């Protein structure tokens, strides 16, 4: 009987250790939403449970996770991959940026799927009252003599080549005081409370649809394309039949206005991410 029990335990251990598809994400709202949408969609289509490793951290942590195989796929942005991961120069054409990223990520046996349908570029935002009183529409307007800015940015933006260093080389904004770094969710609160005058937000931030802010136009096109797409291990595509087809069903299905609304639903209304993801998929999967 003891031998039989040991055999049963070993068998159960083997079953529990069976590899499941693992979906990852970075550590901000939009990524959590995308990670949950992807996870639920795979579960619905492949009828298998997905392991979630959402909220992993920033770009470099998620990149390390997929290269080492601790996750099988996650959503990423072409401009981020091109400049921050591959360390390549900015490419302004979205198709060319995607082609370079695909070629670069092939070294790690990673596949870039087609874009999900929206771009999440950086958005330099100021209070609408400042924009109207100073007649500011573009970043060049903001860089004109006499304009000084207390800047608030996320932690990555301060160091990324497609962030503050490159922005300053392009526009030469006059900054006063030290740049304030903070969690992305605190940027607009700092702007509203007059702790800073300009923040580096994102074009799909939910707050942009409701707050009295103005996005300054990047008329010199400094920021590269940031089309959102799924990055997946080729080994996972080979191991799980139907995974590639399921992921392709999400291509082109999410637009900027939808992502702004979803981000607002989570950040402002505090709705559960799984519930929001399920609602989105009702329209995609029917």
pTM over 0.85: no
pLDDT digits over 87-131, tens only? 998 888 999 999 999 999 999 999 999 999 999 999 999 999 999
The lowest-confidence range among 6-15, 18-27, 54-63, 149-158 is 6-15
Decide which of 215, 250, 275 is a domain's last residue: 215
Q: Give percent of the chain above pLDDT 70.
A: 94
Q: Note the pLDDT of residue 19.
A: 79
Q: How many domains does the chain have?
A: 2
Q: Note the pLDDT of residue 14.
A: 38
SS (H, E, C) the chain: CHHHHHHHHHHHHHHHCCCCCEEECCCCHHHHHHHHHHHHHHHHHHCCCCEEECCCCCHHHHHHHHHHCCCCEEEEEHHHHHHHHCCCCCCCCHHHHHHHHHHHHHHHCEEECCCCCCECCEEEEEEHHHHHHHCCCEHHHHCCCCCCECEEECHHHHHCCCCHHHHHHHHCCCECCCCEECCHHHHHHHHHCCCCCEEEEECCCHHHHCCCEEECECCCCCCCCCEEEEEEEHHHHHHCCCHHHHHHCCCCCCCHHHHHHHHHHHHCCCCCHHHHHHHHHHHHHC
Q: Are residues 126 and 197 in the same domain?
A: yes
Q: Are residues 204 and 276 in the same domain?
A: no
Q: Are residues 66 and 83 in the same domain?
A: yes
The CATH number given to whatever domain includes residue 193 is: 3.40.190.120
Residue 7: band (very low, low, confident or very high) from pLDDT cuts 50, 70, 90: very low
Query: Which domain does 131 fall in, by range?
Result: 122-215
Q: Note the pLDDT of residue 13.
A: 37
Average pLDDT over residues 265-271: 93
Q: Are residues 161 and 181 in the same domain?
A: yes
pLDDT digits over 229-267, tens only? 999 999 999 999 999 999 999 999 999 999 999 999 999
């Amino acid at each position: 009987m003891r031998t039989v029990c040991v055999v049963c335990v070993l068998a159960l251990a083997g079953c529990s250790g069976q590899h499941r598809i693992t979906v990852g994400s970075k550590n901000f709202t939009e990524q959590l939403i995308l990670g949950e949408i992807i996870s639920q969609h795979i579960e619905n289509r492949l009828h298998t449970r997905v392991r979630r490793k959402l909220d992993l951290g920033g770009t470099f942590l998620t990149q390390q996770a997929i290269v080492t195989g601790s996750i099988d796929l996650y959503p990423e942005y072409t401009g981020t991959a091109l400049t921050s991961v591959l360390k390549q120069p900015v490419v302004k054409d979205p198709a060319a940026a995607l082609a370079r990223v695909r070629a670069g990520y092939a070294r790690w046996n990673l596949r870039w799927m087609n874009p999900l349908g929206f771009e999440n570029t950086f958005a330099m935002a100021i209070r609408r009252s400042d924009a109207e009183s100073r007649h500011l529409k573009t970043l060049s307007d903001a860089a004109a003599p006499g304009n000084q800015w207390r800047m608030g940015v996320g932690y990555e933006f301060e160091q990324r080549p497609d962030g503050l260093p490159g922005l300053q080389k392009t526009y030469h904004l006059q900054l006063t005081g030290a740049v304030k770094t903070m969690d992305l969710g605190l940027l607009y609160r700092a702007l509203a409370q007059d702790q800073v005058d300009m923040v580096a937000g994102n074009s799909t931030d939910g707050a942009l649809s409701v707050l009295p802010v103005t996005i300054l136009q990047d008329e010199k096109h400094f920021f590269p394309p940031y089309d959102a797409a799924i990055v997946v291990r080729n080994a996972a595509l080979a191991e799980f039949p139907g995974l590639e087809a399921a992921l392709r069903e999400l291509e082109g299905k999410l637009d900027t206005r939808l992502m702004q609304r979803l981000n607002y639903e989570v950040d402002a209304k505090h709705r559960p991410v799984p519930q929001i993801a399920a609602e989105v998929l009702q329209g995609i999967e029917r």
